[in-house]
Structure 1
Amino acid sequence: MGVTDPYLWLEDITGEDALDWVRSRNEPTLAELCGERFEQMQTEALEVLDTDARIPYVRRRGDWLYNYWRDAENPRGLWRRTTLDSYRTDAPDWERVIDLDALASAEDENWVWAGARVIEPDHSLALVTLSRGGSDAAVVREFDMRTKQFVVDGFRVPEAKTQISWEDENAVLIGTDWGDDSLTESGYPRLVKRWRRGTPLDDAETLFSGSRTDVLVAATRDHTPGFERTFLNRAVDFFNDEVYEIRDGELIRIDAPTDATVSAHRNWLLIELRTDWYTGSDTYRAGSLIAADYDEFLAGTADLQVVFEADDHTSLNHYAWTKDKLVIVTLADVVSRVETVTPGSWAIEPVPGIPDNSNAVIVDTDDLGDEIFLDFSGFTTPSRLLHGPVEGPLELIKSAPSFFDADSIAVAQHFATSKDGTAIPYFVVGQQDKGPGPTLLSGYGGFEVSRTPGYDGVTGRLWLARGGTYVLANIRGGGEYGPGWHTQAMREGRHLVAEDFAAVAADLVHSGITTVEQLGAQGGSNGGLLMGIMLTQYPELFGALVCSVPLLDMRRFHLLLAGASWVAEYGDPDDPDDWEFISKYSPYQNISADRSYPPLLMTTSTRDDRVHPGHARKMTAALEAAGHEVRYYENIEGGHAGAADNKQTAFRSALIFEFLHRTLHS
C-alpha cells in the first residue's frame, strides 16, 4: 500500500507540465481520427442535437411552461417559457427569460446552465445556477421571473458546490463553502444555514452542523399550502441519510431506515426501501414502497401500507405526485409499466398505451392539480410526449423525429449466464439476420442506476445506420431488478459487475451476433472503471474499448474530488481489509506488460470536478510505460458529462464512433 506513484504529478489538474502532457496525447489522437468520415459523423450528430424538431421538454411554474433549449443559434442555451395552449401547437410562441449566450458574452464567461430553483407557490423569484465549463461547482444568482432580470443586491453565492433552496421570499436555506472546515471530505457542504435577505453571507445563521465524514447536508422547504414543512437531510454516506423536520427550531427525526428514500406529500409519507425493514411486528421487503400518514408516523402510531412490493422480475423505477394521485413507473424485466395509485385505498390502475420494450419517464406533474407530462421511447421508437389529467385520457402532444431508418432494425432481449449462475439480461439492437458484425456493448453497473431502453438518434445515425449492432447490458450494480441487484455488487461483491459484463460479451460471440475482433465496449464514470477492468482482466474478449471520464486508480479515488462519497459503494482503500478486495480489480494497479490489450480510446475532461481527470491521465501514462498503445483525448471543458455544449458533444461522439469503426470494421 506504500508503493510510490510515479505519475502523481498528472493529478495537478491545470499544472503546466500536466497540460503539456495532455496536449501531447490529444494531438496524435485527433490527427489520426479526425478524417473525412469523422467530419461527416460530427455533422450528423450535431444535426440530431441541434434540430428544432426535437421535443422541448417543459416544467410547469404556475401559468407558464419553462424549457431550457440549446441549438445551433443558441449553443449555450435559452431559458424560455410559453403557455400550455401555445405549447400544444406545432410552433409555440416562446418568450425568452435568460439568454445564456448573451450573458456569457457580456460577462466574458464560459457559462453552462445548471438549473434554477423557483420559489413556490407564486413562482416570482428563482435561484439560477451557472457553471463555468460544466463543472459541478457553480455560482448562484437571484433572478426576478416577472422582470426577467437578475436581482440587484439579491442573493449571490460565489463558485462552490452549493446546496440552496428557498425558505421564503426573504430567506434561503444554504450550504456552501465558507472555508474554515465547512466542507465534508467529499467536498460538499457540511453546514446548513439560514441566510436572510440584505445580510452578508458570512452572517448566515447556522441551523445544523454535520460531520467531516458525511457526504453532505442540505435543507429544503415544502411550500405546499397547508402542509408547509422544512426538511433537513444529512447524508452520512452515499446510501444512508438521516432525515429530519425542522419545527420551531427543533430537529424531529423521521425514524425510517437510513438507507431508505423518504419523501412527504401533503399528509402522506413515502418510504422506499433498499433493504428489508423489520418493524418488530412486520417485515417489509427491500425494493418496496411504503406509505403512512405523516403525523401518525412521527407519533409512532402509523398504520404502514404497502404501495408497491418488488419481486424477482419487477422493480420500482421512479414516481411522482399530482395533488391527489401517485404515479409510479416500474420495470418488469427492464421494460416500463406506468400506474396510478389512489392514496388512502392505495388502489392501483394501469396507464394504457405504453409500447413493449420501451422506457417511460414522468417528465413533470402538477402537485397542486392533476396534470401530467409522460414521455416514452424505445431503441427504435423516437420519444413521444403524452399530456393530460392523470386519470386520463392522455393525449399525444409532441413527437420527436426519426433520425435513422429503423425498418430493418430488430430489438431483442436475451439473457446470459454469469459465473455464479445468475441470468443477466441484455438488449440487442441491430440489422436482422445479418450474421456476425461490428457490435458495441455498453454497461454501467453501479450506484443502483438502471439502464433502460431508449431512443438515441446519435448512436442510431453514427452506428446502427452504418451497419453496427448496439447492445445494452443490465448487469448487477444497477437497479434494474431493485436494490438487491445493486447491493450484491457493492464492496467485496464488485467482481460480480465484471463477471456479468464478461458473460454478456462471451454470449454475444457464442450466439453468433459478433466475433471477438468485432466486439467493442464502452462505459463512462463508474462504467469507465468497468472498462478498465475489462482491459486488465478480460482483454481476450474484446476488439476495442472506450473508457470515458473513468475511475481507475482505486487506491486514491477517495482522496480525489468527490471520491470520498463513493467509499460506501467501493470500500475504503485505507482499510487493509477493504484494500484486499479492491486491489484485486483496481485497473491502475493491475496493468501487465506481458498481456496483449485491445485498442483503447481514453477520454476525459479537464473541467470534471467529480471524477478527477488524473485517473485517465495516470492510467494512460502507465499503459504507455508498459508498452501498450492508447489513444487519448481530454476536453479542456465539459465537466463530468465530458462536453459543455452540443458542438462538443457531437465532436466527442464522432471521435468515439470513428475509433470504433476503424478498429471493429477492419
Structure 2
Amino acid sequence: MSGVGVRGWWRAGAVALAAVMIAACGHEAAQDDPFQWLEELDSPRAKAWVAAENDKTLRVLEQDPRYADNLAAAKELGNAPDRIPMPRFANGAIENFWQGPDHPRGIWRTTSVADYESPQPNWSKLLDLDALAEAEQKNWVWKGVDCDPVTRKRCLVSLSEGGEDAVTLREFDVATKEFVTDGFVLPRSKQSVAWVDDNTVLVSREWQSGETTTSGYPFIVKQVRRGQPLTEAVEITRGDKSDGLGTQPLLLEDGKALRLNVVQRGPSFFERQFSLLTGSGTARLELPPKSDLAGLVGNHLLVSLRQDWTTEGATFRAGSLVSLNADEVIKNPQRLRATPIYLPGPTETLEGVLATRDRIVVTSLNDVRGRATVYTPQPDGSWSGAPVPLPDNATIDTVDADPQGSVAYLSVTSFLEPTTLWSLDTGTGRVQPVKTTPPRFDSSRYVVEQHKAASPDGTQVPYFIVHAADMKLDGTTPTILHAYGGFGLSQTPSYDGLLGRRWLERGGAFVVANIRGGGEFGPAWHEAALTTNRQRAFDDFAAVGKDLIARDITTPQRLGILGGSNGGLLMGVELTQHPELWNAVGIQVPLLDMMRYEQIAAGASWVGEYGTVADPAQRAFLESISPYRQLRSGVPYPEPFIWTSTKDDRVGPQHARKFAARLAELGTPYLFYEADQGGHGSGTNIDEKARTSALEYTYFMRRLM
C-alpha cells in the first residue's frame, strides 16, 4: 500500500469512527430528550405546537398598548423613501435592489454613476420581483446577482423560496430585461457559481441526492456549457463528504484583462484549500489553511491571513494583508513570494478590502474605531498607504468599488450620526459625502462612551454605551446589552432610528460589548474563545453586565440582553449561568442544544468554532454550557423572548422550539415566536422585519420599563 493510500485509508477510517461516535452520542441524547420530535421541521405535530405557541405569544405582545406604536415606527422607518439606496457597480453603471411599500419583495434597478449621486436618481427597472412572484406563484426572495465577465450583460439571478439559503439560479439579460430563453437554469439547491466566460460557468451543487457534506454543503465542482444539460456537466474537482464547509468556485478579475478561476475547498469552517484552474486541470496554491483571497488588482493577488505565515524566507503575522504576483502564481503555485500591504498593530484588525482598477481600499479597526486607507502598488513591488480623512470615532464599512475605474464607496455610521455614504476617488484622494440618512431622532440629547470591564482572567473587555447626557447614576436606566462573540466577527456602533425613537427617547440605554470570540482585535481575539475555551466569551459578557451595574447605570431588574445566531447561544448561556443578572433575555434564531447541533441544519460546519461531541473533552464542555441541557427546575429564570424562522436552513428553528418546550415543562414563563418565512433572519421584506422588531421592543419595554 502506497503512502498516499495509507493516509487516505487512515482518514477514511477516522471519519467513519467520528460519524459513528456522533451518531451514538445523538442516540444517547435521544434517550433523555423528550422534545426531539420538535426537530421534525414540518411534521403535523410540530407545526401544531408552533401555531399554539405563536398564538399565545402574539396575544401577549400584540395586545400590549405599546405594540401598535412600535410597529408603526418600525414600518415608517423601514419604508422611508429617503433611505440610502446602497450602490453596486456593474459595468460602469450603478445597480441597486430596493424594497418599499410599492415593491415589498423588491425591485432590481439601474442608473448611471452621475445620476446615482444626484439628489433624486432616475432609476430604470431591470426586474420586478413582486410581479415575478405573482406570475409564478412563488414566494421569491432576492439573494443577489452575478454577471458574466465578458459582455457583462448576462447575469445569474439567485432566488430563494422564503429566505432559505438554498437558491434557484436563472440567467437574466440586462439589455432585454428578460430571463434568457434556454439560458442557464440551476434548480433549487445550496449552490455557488462562478463564470469562466460568457458561455461557461463552474457550479458547485448537490448533483445527485446525498452529494453534500455532513453539514449540507456541496463539495463537487463541475463545468457547465451553455445549452448543456446538467447531467452532462464535466467534473472539475471535488472536496470530501467529511469537509466542514464544502467546495465552491471563485472568479477573480483585475478590472483589466486578467481573470483567474479558483476553487476553494473548506475542510473546516476556518480552513481553506485553494486550487488554480489551468488548461490541464487544477494546481494547488500553497497558501496557509487560515487565509482568504481578498481580490485581484493590476496583477496583484490579494491574500488576507488569519494565521502566521512564513514563505520564501519572510514571515507575516496573523491579521495581515499581503499580495502575490499573479504571473508568479500561475507559473509556480507552490512557491509563493508575498509582499506586505497592511500589517496590524496590537489594537488593530483588518475589516474589509475593496479593489479598484489600480488600487485597493482597506478598512480596519483601531481600538474598535474605524479607519480607511488607500494602498497603491509601487514600481519596486511594495505598497504605499494613504489614510482616508473620514470622521473619527465611527464605524467605517466597505460598500463597493468600480473594478474598471477609480471610485470606491464607503459607509460611515455611529450611534448618533446618521449613516453617510462617501465617494472616494482612489486616484486623486478626493473624498466627499454622497448621500446621508436624514436624522430620525434628536441625537443632541445623548452621548456615547467607551468603557472596559475586567473579565475573571484579567482581560480588559471594551464596550460602547449610548445613553441620555443627563442620565442619573442611580441604577434606574433600562439598558439592553448586545454582543455576538463568535466566528471572528466584529461588533461596532451603528445608527438605528428605531433604537433612538423607541428606546433612547423613552429613557433607555444601549450597549455593544466587544467580547472575545469576535474579531475586534484580530484573529487572536477570536481564537481565544474557540471550543473548550468558549467560557471566556461568556465570562466577558457577564463582566460587562456586572460593570454596568457597578457603575450604577442600571440594576439587574432594569438590565436586558439581546443576541442572535451565535449570539443567541450566548444569550441562552447567560440565561442559565447568570439568571440573577438580567430581567429580559432576547434570543434570536439561536443555537441552544449543543449536544445535537451537529445534526441540525448546517451545524456540522461549525465544529471548528464549537467543538464536537465525538471528542470526549469537547463533548463534556458542550454539555456543561448547552442552554437546553442546563435548564434546571426551581431556578427563577427571567422570562425570555425566543424567536426563530421555519425557513432557517442554516441554524434551524429546532433549537428554539426545544428550548421553549423545556421551559414549559419546568413551568418557567417564556415567550416564543416562529415566523414561517425569513430564513436566518427576521423577515423577507420590510414589513415582516418591522413586525419582529415591534415584538422585540414591546417585550423589552414590558420587562425593563
Matched residues in 1 for 2:294 and 2:491: separation?
24
Q: Secondary structure at the match of 1:641?
A: coil
Matched residues in 2 for 1:552 and 1:303: separation?
45
Matched residues in 1 for 2:340 and 2:481: separation?
37
The aligned counterpart of 1:576 is: 616
2:57 is matched by which residue type in structure 1?
T
Unaligned runs of 5+ in 2: 1-24
Q: Secondary structure at the match of 1:539?
A: coil
Whether 1:90 aligns to 2:119 is yes
Superposition map of 1:216-295 within 5 A:
216-224=246-254, 225-265=256-296, 266-279=298-311, 281-295=313-327
Matched residues in 2 for 1:114 and 1:495: separation?
35
The aligned counterpart of 1:164 is: 193
1:356 is matched by which residue type in structure 2?
D
2:250 is matched by which residue type in structure 1?
T
Cα displacement string for residues 391-422 of structure 1 (whole angstroms, at most 9, x for unaligned residues): 32122221111111111110011000001100
1:539 to 576, 579, 582: 579
Matched residues in 2 for 1:555 and 1:302: separation?
42
1:180–1:30 CA distance, 2 compared to 1 (3 A):
closer
Whether 1:389 aligns to 2:425 is yes
The offset of 1:292, in angstroms, is: 2.7
Cα displacement string for residues 410-437 of structure 1 (whole angstroms, at most 9, x for unaligned residues): 0011000001100001000111132231
Matched residues in 2 for 1:656 and 1:185: separation?
34
Whether 1:560 aligns to 2:592 is no
Cα displacement string for residues 196-239 of structure 1 (whole angstroms, at most 9, x for unaligned residues): 11121121111012100111111123354432221111111100
Matched residues in 2 for 1:114 and 1:39: separation?
31
The offset of 1:373, in angstroms, is: 1.2
Matched residues in 2 for 1:222 and 1:316: separation?
20
Normalised to the residue count of structure 1, the TM-score between the two structures is 0.98
Normalised to the residue count of structure 2, the TM-score between the two structures is 0.92
* Contact preservation (8 Å) 1:288, 1:309: yes
Matched residues in 2 for 1:237 and 1:388: separation?
37
The offset of 1:356, in angstroms, is: 2.3
Q: Secondary structure at the match of 2:81?
A: coil
* Contact preservation (8 Å) 1:57, 1:363: yes
Cα displacement string for residues 567-609 of structure 1 (whole angstroms, at most 9, x for unaligned residues): 1100011222210211110111111112211120010001111
Matched residues in 1 for 2:150 and 2:512: separation?
41
Whether 1:208 aligns to 2:244 is no
The aligned counterpart of 2:466 is: 429
The offset of 1:143, in angstroms, is: 0.4
Matched residues in 1 for 2:529 and 2:155: separation?
40
1:482–1:629 CA distance, 2 compared to 1 (3 A):
same
The offset of 1:277, in angstroms, is: 2.1
Matched residues in 2 for 1:124 and 1:547: separation?
43
* Contact preservation (8 Å) 2:295, 2:355: no
The offset of 1:629, in angstroms, is: 1.0
Number of matched residues? 664
The aligned counterpart of 1:457 is: 497
Q: Percent identity?
A: 40
Cα displacement string for residues 501-539 of structure 1 (whole angstroms, at most 9, x for unaligned residues): 000000000001111100000000000000000011111
Unaligned runs of 5+ in 1: none
Q: Secondary structure at the match of 1:32?
A: helix
1:156 is matched by which residue type in structure 2?
V
* Contact preservation (8 Å) 1:62, 1:122: no
* Contact preservation (8 Å) 1:326, 1:340: yes
Coordinate RMSD, CA, aligned: 1.4
Superposition map of 1:163-562 within 5 A:
163-214=192-243, 215-224=245-254, 225-265=256-296, 266-279=298-311, 281-297=313-329, 299=332, 303-343=337-377, 344-352=381-389, 354-390=390-426, 391-435=428-472, 436=475, 437-562=477-602
* Contact preservation (8 Å) 1:121, 1:223: no
The aligned counterpart of 1:139 is: 168
1:216 is matched by which residue type in structure 2?
G
Matched residues in 2 for 1:488 and 1:30: separation?
40
1:23–1:375 CA distance, 2 compared to 1 (3 A):
same
Cα displacement string for residues 458-516 of structure 1 (whole angstroms, at most 9, x for unaligned residues): 22222112211000001000000001000010111110110000000000000011111
* Contact preservation (8 Å) 2:286, 2:336: no
Q: Secondary structure at the match of 1:52?
A: coil
Matched residues in 2 for 1:38 and 1:574: separation?
46
1:159 is matched by which residue type in structure 2?
R
The offset of 1:121, in angstroms, is: 4.2
1:355 is matched by which residue type in structure 2?
P
The aligned counterpart of 1:638 is: 678
* Contact preservation (8 Å) 1:371, 1:387: yes
